Amino acid sequence: MRHHNYTRPGFQTAIIGTLLLLLFPLTSLAAPIDDGVTNLLAATQQGDGSWISTQTRDSHTITEVMRTLQILDTCVANRSTAGGYLSALIIEDTDELSRI
């Protein structure tokens, strides 16, 4: 029976190094993607601070966008404007209010 060299330290180091090299380019893509999302959301915000969606209630759309911008830690002015708009809405449930 032939023994494999899978347990030798040099082999394990080579595998780990190869995996890190393959994964490194993926981590470098995160910043451009975040910037693209930020730019899209900032560009599509309405003058009154809202974002429009035909799929959900305005309050839900606004809170989800605000939450996304908060996670990305960006667009403080956009979030503030949206918060003002959201505060002026009559919200039928407290789900959206609890998210801001």
Q: Where are the domains of the chain?
A: 30-99
pLDDT at 2 exceeding the cut of 60: no
Distance CA 60, CA 63 (A): 5
Give dist(CA 50, CA 52) in Å, integer.
Answer: 7
pTM for this one? 0.61
The DSSP call for residue 21 is H
- Please state the φ and ψ torsions of residue 83, each to the nearest 5 degrees: -65, -40
Cβ count near 5 (within 10 Å): 8
Indicate whether 94 pLDDT > 80.
no
- Residue 19 tokens read as 């995996």
Distance from C-alpha of 66 to C-alpha of 63, rounded to nearest angstrom: 5
Dump pLDDT digits (tens) for 26-78.
555 566 777 888 888 889 899 999 888 888 888 888 888 888 888 888 888 99
- 10 Å CB burial of residue 75 (0-12, 13-18, 19+) is buried
- What three-state secondary structure class fits 36? helix
- Torsion angles phi and psi, residue 8, rounded to 5: -70, 140
